[in-house]
Structure 1
Amino acid sequence: MRIVMIGAGYVGLVSGACFADFGHDVTCVDKAEDKIARLHAGVMPIYEPGLDSLVAKNVAQKRLSFTTDLADAVRGADAVFIAVGTPSRRGDGQADLSYVYAAAEEVAGHLDGFTVIVNKSTVPVGTGDEVEAIVRRTNPQADFAVVSNPEFLREGAAIEDFKRPDRVVLGVEDERAKAVMQNIYRPLNLNESPILFTGRRTSELIKYAANAFLAMKITFINEMADLCEVLGADVQQVARGIGLDKRIGGKFLHAGPGYGGSCFPKDTLALTRTAQEAGRPTRLIETTVAVNADRKKAMATRIAAAAGGDLTGRRVAVLGLTFKPNTDDMRDAPSLDIVPALLALGAEVHAFDPEGRHEAEPLLPGITFADGPYEAAEGAAVLAILTEWDQFRALDLRRLKAVMAAPVVVDLRNIYRTSEMAEAGFTYSAIGRGAG
């Protein structure tokens, strides 16, 4: 199948490379000339484990190409995927669909034969209807169908998620489009991956409902962590105890500083706005959004308290800035709330992140970026672990203690054992582990 992917960002590039690896002929289109030039040179615009080799392999086998020429790419395509950004709109938090609608209008003028236009971007319910109206208005003679195909990719594990998905959701209103999408995803039949065909609006809502539910699950265990600290319980054991219940499951029950990233914050906001506009407010999700925002802001106070309360002129070491490990994504990362709050408390912040420095530097002015964890910890009154990168899980505690001004660690990801830190001579503060 001939596939065009509009948008060579996180979703578009990963999806395009994986479709090419399935054997399809894929062209990724992006307006950013510098991004396309870097891709031609084999330089990835994002950090995702395994993506560079997957792209190189399929470029070499001439199944994957990159261009800024949308018109040439779209002509003769079987399917055109729209994978552009849908950031939260300023003012009301609803998804900004301007890039989606602009892409639809541009695609409309170049359609050649029956073409399936696929919304891969995360969009509110009814967006597919509007895309269809835009294309029909722009090109009344076009032969096309619009499909919803939301992505469910975890940053850091996106290739595995694409090739071995929990499910593929396809919102289809046209039998010809259904046949095209079945052909595109046929390689997944070998893995017996569930492929769910629904109505288009149902498919659009599934994406938001899934992310909102996971966000609520994270927020729930974070509130249980706060309760554990007061009652002298251990949130990790609580999470395991409830997670073994198959009705609940153990995933997304890891207490921490609050959720962030490219999906949960904007998708929960968009869903609450959609529900409010529909006259059916989602109170659970509204509360989840508020509780999560408050939690991230409170983490700086926790770090200050561990260091004695006053951070004026004192050095704070921060390990990890990205919202999760194995990505360079800084979107809505907890560090964007925590670090400025530490600076406001008078701290001198030295930070290290294995992959996020180039994204973090323009977002976190006023801090010093270190070349490694021990360099960040040099002379620090307290060290805070914000992201659970693997290389932070086995730090040389003796060396760490030797370089710090005071052996105080605030572990916002619970990657160390309380007994281990005590034996090493550290004052150790973790999340929801009042029992030690």
Structure 2
Amino acid sequence: MPPQPQRRQRRAIRELARDERVGQRIIKSIAPSIYGHRDIKTGIALALFGGCPKDIQGKHRLRGDINMLMLGDPGTAKSQFLKYIEKIAHRAVFTTGQGASAVGLTASVRKDPVTREWTLEGGALVLADKGVCLIDEFDKMNDTDRQVMAANLFIDRTSIHEAMEQQSISISKAGIVTTLQARCAVIAAANPIRGRYNPAIPFSQNVELTEPILSRFDILCTVKDTVDPVIDEQLARFVVDSHIRSHPEYAAETDTVQAPEQDADDLLRKYIMYAKDHVHPQLQQMDQDKVATLYAELRRESLAGGSIPITVRHIESMIRMAEANARMHLREFVRTEDIDMAISVMLDSFIGAQKYAIMKSLRRSFSKYLNKSQDHKELLLYTLGRLVQEHIRFYQYRHKGAMPSMVKIPLDE
């Protein structure tokens, strides 16, 4: 029988899971000091819970970990997200693109200066086995670094490909023949080639990464620093309020009030560990026809738009995300709402990677899938928010930047 503290923790976790909106609560609790970026927080939540790895007849292993790439303008909190994950994950290894060339993302074979024997050193992906590997400035690794052709480092780009998909690293050098395990989720952040994200060109042309590497990321998030008076004012208020609440004197005066907030991260960490250890959702009740139809439509749109090719890996990504969402709710079976959530994240990733010229038409084409993942209240608030922003922009255009005192939305809109 587990000790009393463990029983209390499990009881608290089970009570939290009974809440129908536990998924939304978890997503909102991700990096609470960062305003907005709901798509990124959703992706991080799914990556932290992960899907279920599968071993097909003991011959072929399918990964359950979810890989995620954030690409966007400088100063959009990408590094802060990675630092938050490092704090909340039960096992995390943080590295940067500049440092990865010295230590190695995968593994290296070096000659010991004393014994003169060849030794094997694991890189960040190996050290993060059964955890999360966080890579900042992923784009800062140039071709020489990614191929890792230094005299004492014998790993080429294909090792990164193998580590991200097969989650293993094969070594055959200097008499050392072995395979290292790298069963970890990869969450990386990168900056655009020209310093700022250019919406006039696709995602793949904004980042200095090859298509084989991009195809191994389940979720692609674009972070754009756009000028929006309403959002900018809300962000400024949020930042000022956050600084006020973080002041030592303020914390001392309201210590009793802040205590539950300080325990939130610890509860989330234990909730994730419990879910990964005890919950393994099954796919028997999965809507296969919906996934097959969406896959065919995405293939057609990707060929027409000339964007990142849609492959079978994207089907596997949807399955992993559906399992992660079911695991987030401590469910033993993948339900329709889990599939809808996975499809929504996949479509947001796919549409966000397109040129701005075709993004609106794609959202209209796939609106039947995007709307199903949101409940009616969230969908209504989202729609009203978009309409209000459009009216404000139109008003400012006509009145030389002035802000309206009131915004009226006709019912027919």
Higher helix fraction: Structure 1 or Structure 2? 2
Please classify the TM superposition score into its range, dividing by the shorter chain length: under 0.3
Higher relative contact order (CA 8 A, sep 6+): 2
Q: TM-score, normalised by structure 1?
A: 0.23
